[in-house]
Structure 1
């Protein structure tokens, strides 16, 4: 019975092993029924068998194989991870980890040395010996005290050296500053002398319209001074006689200026024509991306070049008669009158002062005007006869302003719409012909710059300063901290006056909204 039971049990284990080798379904647990020999053949209980599916093929570490079915049976002890021992809460070490292994090794130097002393029968020289005597013993407190005193001495000397370096640096900066100020003073003085000398030279040898304006302005200043002197010192018949003499002198000076003007006009006219034709004959130029200059001739530049050659030939006086006759025939074929005479009256206006019909280019048309006024010649004659003003200083201020605005490269447009008479009105009536900071009234030294450099220049975003003050103003980052509230209020009031004046100009009024947007964005 035991053998039969043993055979039956082994057969059941083989079947179970075969069942374990077969891949189960979707579950992870499998219940097997096994007969219990101790409790009888009629009692059974379930045994939970956990099946693990490794992702790799297990190595064979022991077991047996069924020769009939070819099924391998692995030993459970060799295939199962050993169970961990329960922790007791104390760390245990073996005897080998607690016992230190010591070894004694003897070492000998490669060069053994020895000492020899003087003794009986042996003499050793003491010429190279040194006699060492013990020094004075001092305690730790004395040592630290000595160290502290040495540190104090070092600090005193270092601070003295550092203070001397600072003083020398300040002296050098002061020397450089004084030298720079002296150089700037000499430069300003030289510039002023050069301007006065150039102005005097232009008055003595006038060639351009601005030179004659300076001459007439100087004449008017002299007349006013003489008139004031005569009115202050003389009276009655003597005063009338002196005024008549002054009028005769003024008449002679005006006649002399007129003669110089006629001579200058002849020279300037030919130079102006040559300059105009030469400028028109120049080819079109533009810079490529690689920095090279490209030139191109058009039909207009070629035509202007032909006219320039014809004009130069006509201006020559020492050419033979037959060549001049051919040249005149060439001019006759070159200059053509339009067949329709009405085309000649296009863009022609009537001057009410000289009562002449002139092209539109001969009339100064301000941006705020609605009608055509007097021509350039009548305005010039009126200025020479009555007001005798010089606009050179205002033109220089406007040129410097446009140049500085072009350097910003931020698409500034308003500065190129402002004309010279508008700038003159601003300087004279709004800013009083003086700097807003130092009240300097030398127009040669005054410039107009942006009040807020983050916004485009405009008559309501400007300030009149000297050149040095303008350089310092443009370096400021916060105007509210740099200037007092009363000064800022005065500048804003001037801006309001300028905006009210330029509101009469339709083109300028259309730019108010744009400047307000820029102010809000900043």
Structure 2
């Protein structure tokens, strides 16, 4: 019997055994796996697997695909006797496909080329020609080689180590330089950013301060700015009217413009009166605080020593009493106590002023007992406050105030410092005048000068005051004994900026007067009108750091301006002593210009304005 028949008989016996056990599996679905040799695998297999009714089964035909090619051995077993191979079920299962990711993926081995570098010395034939009969070899290019000293391997290695150290030192030096340059560049960029931020903050602060001065003017310079803005607006409106209107319409528009200007002037005047009242109260408080302040001086060990004298204690008592008398929200009982204290204080001295104060105090006490309203007593209380302030300012009653008064109490000293104002025809103290260094005769006082400026020219000198203040502060830092910047006045600074430097930076980059500053041209010499240059803040910071970077044309122009300043200020006796060895006359008359002559003539007058004004 062949092997195939034996196998079929064994399969038949297994089917009988399974048939015997099938009644026990009634009502259940069963699945059977069979292993067949690959060479003898049938095309169809009939088996009773699916039950239909109780005890009835249906034959199910299972179709098996026979592969056309020989499958690889992926696992299984082999019959040692027959040599038949039995494969696992994996050979009947198709491989699982990987999901498509939408990206073409290649293997690294197919994309990477393995390279190998290897040096190889090829053989080369060499030959040497020697002299022989019929062949002559020249010996002109021959060299005599002498063997040198023997160099051991250790010395050769040490040379290489030293050379490597030299190379490493140069490489590390280069890396250190690169790092230091990088750090220096970062510091430079940070400094530039900080400077730019500081300039922006200063510009914003300057604009904010200017707006505050426009909205809430308090000082004379603030009102000069308002009047200057008013004059600029009036000129623009007048120019617009003259260019667009004619005849009766033009006259009507000019009249309306005049009325608007009058309203603006009246509004500014009311603000000026209010500011003067506030400034007067601040000035009074500052005067009383200075009188009541203790004496201070610095000891040898650096400590600050304060001492109260009888005069300062007396001034402090009068200051506190003046504050309580002017207190508005005080009750009637507190007001009576303050009035009685004031009465006892002034009765210590017998004079007409104290008798007037006592009389007014008695009158207010009498009216308060009659329950008169506080609003009706404001005028009386104001008179009491004014007389009491006069009492405080009298050195006989308050000795400490004599050190704070501008007008000396000695008539002999007063006679030497009195000057006549040619505008208001009053004799005033020298503190009421602000002459420039080029003025030879005292003309008008500050009040008359300000009034004339408001009525006619309406010039704003605050920008020149800012330039002069910055100049003095910078020179104090460089030289504590600087004198020329403190001799110049606003008119001198205005002449120096407008006439000599044409209200513009020396580099012609900025014409904003609030951004311009004066610095030294030669940093080793003190500042003077013949050793200065007008620059913007940014240009001034760069000018201080660098040297000799200007073109020859610019340097000649700056030297020419120095000669103009020297010629103008050399006419002032107090400034002539600060000139150097070169004589102003040696400069030649080539520097004289009509503009300087006109300005000099205006300065040589007695202070009255020109006739065309």
1:57-116, Cα deviation, whole Å (9 max, x unpaired): xxxxxxxxxxxxxxxxxxxxxxxxxxxxxxxxxxxxxxxxxxxxxxxxxxxxxxxxxxxx
Q: Secondary structure of 2:419's partner?
A: strand
Counterpart position of 1:401:
471
Counterpart position of 1:322:
340
2-structure distance, mates of 1:339, 1:513: 42
Counterpart position of 2:236:
225
Counterpart position of 2:564:
497
Q: Secondary structure of 2:252's partner?
A: helix
Correspondence 1:356 to 2:426:
yes
Aligned partner (choices 251, 255, 262) of residue 240 of structure 1? 251
2-structure distance, mates of 1:437, 1:343: 50
2-structure distance, mates of 1:429, 1:301: 51
Gaps of 5+ in 2: 1-150, 152-156, 355-390, 397-407, 584-613
Q: How far did 1:312 drift? A: 3.3
1:326 to 1:372, Cα distance in 2 relative to 1, 3 A: farther
Q: How far did 1:376 drift? A: 1.3
Counterpart position of 2:544:
474
Would the aligned equivalents of 1:314 and 1:327 in 2 still touch at CA under 8 Å?
no
Q: Secondary structure of 1:294's partner?
A: strand
Correspondence 1:511 to 2:578:
yes
Counterpart position of 2:273:
262
1:159 to 1:324, Cα distance in 2 relative to 1, 3 A: closer
2-structure distance, mates of 1:284, 1:343: 25
Counterpart position of 1:455:
525
Q: Secondary structure of 1:212's partner?
A: helix
Correspondence 1:205 to 2:223:
no
1:37-58, Cα deviation, whole Å (9 max, x unpaired): xxxxxxxxxxxxxxxxxxxxxx
Correspondence 1:416 to 2:486:
yes
1-structure distance, mates of 2:409, 2:474: 49
Gaps of 5+ in 1: 1-139, 141-145, 517-522
1:309-352, Cα deviation, whole Å (9 max, x unpaired): 45435534543243343344458465379999999766433323
Aligned pair count reads 375
1:404-435, Cα deviation, whole Å (9 max, x unpaired): 11112452222221122211211111111111
Correspondence 1:371 to 2:441:
yes
Normalised by the length of structure 2, the TM-score is: 0.53
1:240 to 1:469, Cα distance in 2 relative to 1, 3 A: same
Would the aligned equivalents of 1:397 and 1:448 in 2 still touch at CA under 8 Å?
yes
1:216 to 1:281, Cα distance in 2 relative to 1, 3 A: same
Counterpart position of 1:391:
461
2-structure distance, mates of 1:515, 1:330: 67
2-structure distance, mates of 1:302, 1:413: 38
Q: Secondary structure of 2:518's partner?
A: strand
2-structure distance, mates of 1:299, 1:157: 81
Q: Secondary structure of 1:448's partner?
A: strand
Would the aligned equivalents of 2:437 and 2:492 in 1 still touch at CA under 8 Å?
no
Would the aligned equivalents of 2:438 and 2:492 in 1 still touch at CA under 8 Å?
no
C-alpha root-mean-square deviation of aligned residues, in Å? Answer: 4.0
Q: How far did 1:266 drift? A: 0.7
Would the aligned equivalents of 1:398 and 1:420 in 2 still touch at CA under 8 Å?
yes
Q: How far did 1:232 drift? A: 2.5
2-structure distance, mates of 1:299, 1:371: 44
Q: How far did 1:507 drift? A: 1.1
2-structure distance, mates of 1:314, 1:168: 72
Correspondence 1:485 to 2:543:
no
Equivalent positions of 1:66-465 (< 5 A) are 177=188, 180-296=191-307, 305=316, 308-309=319-320, 311-317=322-328, 318=330, 319-320=335-336, 321-329=339-347, 332=353, 335=394, 347-409=417-479, 411-465=481-535
1:358-399, Cα deviation, whole Å (9 max, x unpaired): 333222233332322112111111111222222222212111
Q: How far did 1:199 drift? A: 0.7
